[in-house]
Homo-oligomer: A and B are copies of this chain.
């Protein structure tokens, strides 16, 4: 069921424009090549609004911001909307600074975003920022666990409905949610938190999976499962000599090697209709 999205990507490729932070840019570009897509990274306003024209999708990552780049994000996002290109947002460190809150607030008010992926803290802040003038209860827990899943899904679903958006929450359990359904995903490995940029890599992977899909939510879930599954496979390859650097290499290698059949066979998820 999910493998088809990977197969489709490997057959049709996709050109992904990522306004990326510079810390993880290289890994993100290699993840895109690993899954069958191609990367272009441009963060200058003038350059980016031209680059988006030839790309299939726009990924925005706010990890290393500055005022020049935030302007590019808004302008390039508006251009992507005009050209009917999908936009994925990775609100890295949302809540940690006023500037990060400001750019995300600006983006969701001025640009139609299709998918936002963050950890529970970032998504909590996202919903808080989006709802702050409306007094909505966004009192999410700080951890995504079995015993608070129901509440988190309920709040997230409302946000998805109001904003016509897909939300991905990553953690020990991953959640992919739109207004109609939620995927609760149990793939993944603790080593993914021992390397920098696993989240950024997931964000570009989602961008590639959805680029030419006609089912955004399922393609997003496919990417989240693929990432988690590769995280498991990479861990299985580790020897006693290996640490987090080797693990990162193995993770990218697994994405490179993954095929549709393995993705379907390894998927650990539950679907809930909302």
A99 adjacent to B50 (CB under 8 Å) = yes
**Does A155 reach chain B (CB closer than 8 Å)?**
no
**Does A131 reach chain B (CB closer than 8 Å)?**
no
Given the interface contacts A46-B67, A97-B51, A253-B246, does A41 sit within 8 Å of B26 by beta carbon? no
Residues 221-259 of A contacting B (Cβ, < 8 Å)? 237, 241-246, 248-257
Indicate how many identical chains form the complex.
3
Q: What does the 1/0 interface line of A187-211 toward B look like (CB < 8 Å)? A: 0000000111100000000000000
A253 adjacent to B241 (CB under 8 Å) = yes
One of A28-36, A142-150, A178-186, A264-272 at the interface? A28-36
A245 adjacent to B248 (CB under 8 Å) = yes
**Does A47 reach chain B (CB closer than 8 Å)?**
yes
Which residues of A does B touch, CB under 8 Å?
Answer: 20-27, 29-30, 33-34, 39-44, 46-47, 50-51, 54, 63-68, 93, 96-100, 194-197, 237, 241-246, 248-257
B244 adjacent to A253 (CB under 8 Å) = yes
Given the interface contacts A97-B50, A252-B245, A254-B243, does A44 sit within 8 Å of B30 by beta carbon? no
Q: Which residue from B23, B251, B252, B253 sits with its C-beta under 8 Å from A25? A: B23
Given the interface contacts A51-B97, A96-B40, does A243 sit within 8 Å of B65 by beta carbon? no
Contacts of A23 in B (CB 8 A): 20, 22, 25-26, 29, 39, 41
Nearest residue, chain B, Cβ from A41? B23
